[in-house]
Amino acid sequence: MMVLEDLEVKGEEGSKMEIEVKEKNENEIVFIIRNAEVPFVNAIRRIAMMDIPKIAIEDVNIVKNDSAMFDEVLAHRLGLTPLFSGLEAIEGLVMSEDCDCEDYCPRCSVSLTLNKTGPADKAETKIVYSKDLSSTDSQIKSVYDTIPLLKLKKDQDVELEAVAKLGFGKDHAKWIPTTVCAYKQYPKITFNEDLEVDYECAKACPRGILKADKRSKKIKVNNIENCSMCKSCVRASENGYVNIGYEKNDFIFRLETDGSMTPEEVLLKSCDVLSEKAEKFITFCKGGKV
């Protein structure tokens, strides 16, 4: 597997690509990529959403469902329940199309069961949550405990088997590991120093990026990465004092996952997939078989 230090490519005019992490937590990462090209950054974005394996519930065998929820809606809700799909959790599992079995087996799938009975009291309602799914694999289970699946009343039961399989985001949204995966070009704010300072532009900024400093007769720029490039400041300045543009080869990338895997795992896997595709292409160009 590729490690973050390996992420070194040549950008425009041979300059080295640089990556700086701005924010990071369990499910989200924001980083700046400098000296890169749009096709490269966009390839990472697309692969992260569409082309890395994730496990999700694919088939549901419903034995009993007395709840008011239709079987199809329940199956859809189960499909969209995020399951842990970290590299360790899915290690050894094969895609179902690469398996020799007819439908599903432990080599290509993980079974989860749901068996719940309604409350004893007629006046009560029992909510069945994602934590009530019990898995045959201790690593592959619901990421969140409190996703409501259905409601049961007295004398109502639900009994089902949910079969989770590996898949790709390009086939169904349930296999997309990211909830946010987007980049924007790095903003560039310049002032026309030949003109009189126009403090109105600072007043118009909805994000507080521009701050009027009347003592030094300047407009100061704070936290430029938060600029949405809305150009409200440009419209407010009658003399055209401020200009908003972007750095062509610098990007701010934000990636958030549904918890099925960490943002680092998504990025590293995306780089592996991109690298594999490039290798295949090189082999093809050299006349080899792909």
Element of type H or E holding 200: helix 200-204
| 99 sits near Zn ion (criterion: CB under 5 A) | yes
Calpha distance 191→239 (Å, rounded): 11
Residue 107 binds: one of Zn ion, ligand SF4, none (C-beta under 5 to 8 A by kind): Zn ion
Residue 147 binds which entry of ligand SF4, Zn ion, none, CB below 5-8 Å type-dependent = none
Contact call for residue 128 and ligand SF4 (CB under 6 A):
no
Cβ contact 187:246 at 8 Å: yes
Q: How far apart are CA 11 and CA 248, in angstroms?
A: 11
Tell me which of 244, 252, 261, 268 binds ligand SF4, using CB under 6 A. Answer: 244
Name residue 188's beta-bridge partners. 245
Query: Which residue, 146 or 223, is less far from ligand SF4 as judged by CB?
Result: 223
User: Which of ligand SF4, Zn ion, none does 101 bind, CB closer than 5 to 8 A by kind?
Assistant: Zn ion
232 binding partner (options ligand SF4, Zn ion, none; Cβ < 5 to 8 Å by kind): ligand SF4
Question: 10 Å Cβ neighbour count for 254?
Answer: 17
Q: Return left, alpha or beta for 208; rule: phi > 0 is left, psi -120 to 50 is alpha, else beta.
A: left
- What are the start-end ranges of the E strands in 121-232? 126-129, 134-135, 148-152, 157-167, 178-191, 210-213, 218-221
Contacts (CB under 6 A) with ligand SF4, residues 162-201: 189
CB 34 within 8 A of CB 22: no
Name the binder of 229 from Zn ion, ligand SF4, none, CB < 5-8 A by kind: ligand SF4
Could you say which of ligand SF4, Zn ion, none residue 233 binds, taking C-beta under 5 to 8 angstroms by partner kind? ligand SF4
Q: Is 207 in the site for ligand SF4 (CB under 6 A)?
A: yes
Which one of 232, 243, 246, 264 is in contact with ligand SF4 (CB under 6 A)? Answer: 232
Q: What's the one-letter identity of residue 8? A: E
| Surface-to-core class of residue 140, CB atoms within 10 Å of its CB (0-12 exposed, 13-18 middle, 19+ buried) | buried
Task: Tell me how far, at minimum, the Cβ of 246 lies from ligand SF4, in Å.
Answer: 10
105 counts as binding Zn ion under rule CB under 5 A: yes
Residue among 183, 182, 116 nearest 154 (CA): 116
* 108 touches Zn ion by CB under 5 A: yes
- CB of 222: closest distance to ligand SF4 in angstroms? 10
Residues that bind ligand SF4 (CB under 6 A): 189, 204-205, 207, 209-210, 227-233, 244
